[in-house]
Amino acid sequence: MEKGGLLDSYRSSFRSLQKNYLMTLQGVGIEVAFLLLFGFFAVPLRDAINQHLVYLSDELISASAVSGQITSVILESVSYHKILQLGFAFAVLFYVLYCLFQGFLWKFCLSFSSKKKQYASYLKKFFLVNLFWYPFFIAYVLLSFLLSYMDTVAERYNPEGFFSLSWVSTLFLLAIVYFAFLSYVFIDKEKVWKSILRSFKVGFSRIKTVLGMYAGIIVVFGIVHMILIFSGQLSEVLSFIVGLFLVLPLFLWIRIVIGKMVQAL
């Protein structure tokens, strides 16, 4: 797809949102529902994990002062096992809510102008395709935590020669998103495993086109982000309004753009 085709996809996607404003509001409502519902369940889990991390750190400090047997203290700690249980619950919660709401929104955007939308089949495949991608996301979270810890230690011991490693985990996340979003489009018409394989095939063979698509989206997102920051400096109410009526519709626009452009490859 040439540059003109990219711009046409951007414009036509924007016109679709503008023309079907009631559907746009419906999509924004679903986005808000996902954020509220996830926050409702996730915040207590996060707080509980943080609390047990504090308890575990206290136990480790006491153990190091007495015996120095750190590993055995961790494995025998009630807080450690609570952290594992809560972390597992958090991972399952995010997977279910993400697949349910985001699967609905991807199908909603892929057939935005169509009156008939077959959600059941797509949602089933969305749950299945993310069984492949979700372990990579968990690996990203663990890698990000590890590299962040390493950065903190390195900065404390050698602040002058400090070199951040956090960009490695960011690149890993971008790579996951790069291929996963392609597969989200392909599963609309194809089987799950074939869609995953095709996402890698297209991702590598049409890398210039796909990177160009993502680059344009990032530029638009960056502009909107700057508007959001500027509005926040003026007023919190204005920032909320901009976020609701500009940022959330932008997420719909991104899915529509990706759908149009990937289907045309």
Query: pLDDT by residue (tens digit) across 205-248?
Result: 999 989 999 998 999 888 988 888 888 888 888 888 877 778 88
* 118 Rama class: left (phi>0) / alpha (psi -120 to 50) / beta: beta
Extents of the domains making up the chain: 3-263
Name the nearest CA neighbour of 249 among 6, 21, 39.
21
d(CA 80, CA 85): 9
Q: Buried (b) or exposed (e) across 228-245, using 16+ Cβ within 10 A?
A: beebeeeeeeebeebbee
Task: Please give the average per-residue pLDDT across 123-134, as a whole number.
Answer: 96
Residue-level pLDDT at 53: 77
pLDDT at 72 over 80: no
Q: 171 or 150: which carries more pLDDT confidence?
A: 171
Measured in whole angstroms, the distance separating CA 115 from the mean position of its chain's CA atoms is 28
Q: Which is it for the CA torsion 49, 40, 174, 86, positive or negative?
A: positive
Using pLDDT thresholds of 50, 70 and 90, give the confidence band for residue 17: confident
pTM for this model (two decimals) = 0.85
d(CA 25, CA 115): 16
Q: What percent of the chain has pLDDT over 70?
A: 84
pLDDT for 4 equals 53
pLDDT, mean over the chain: 84
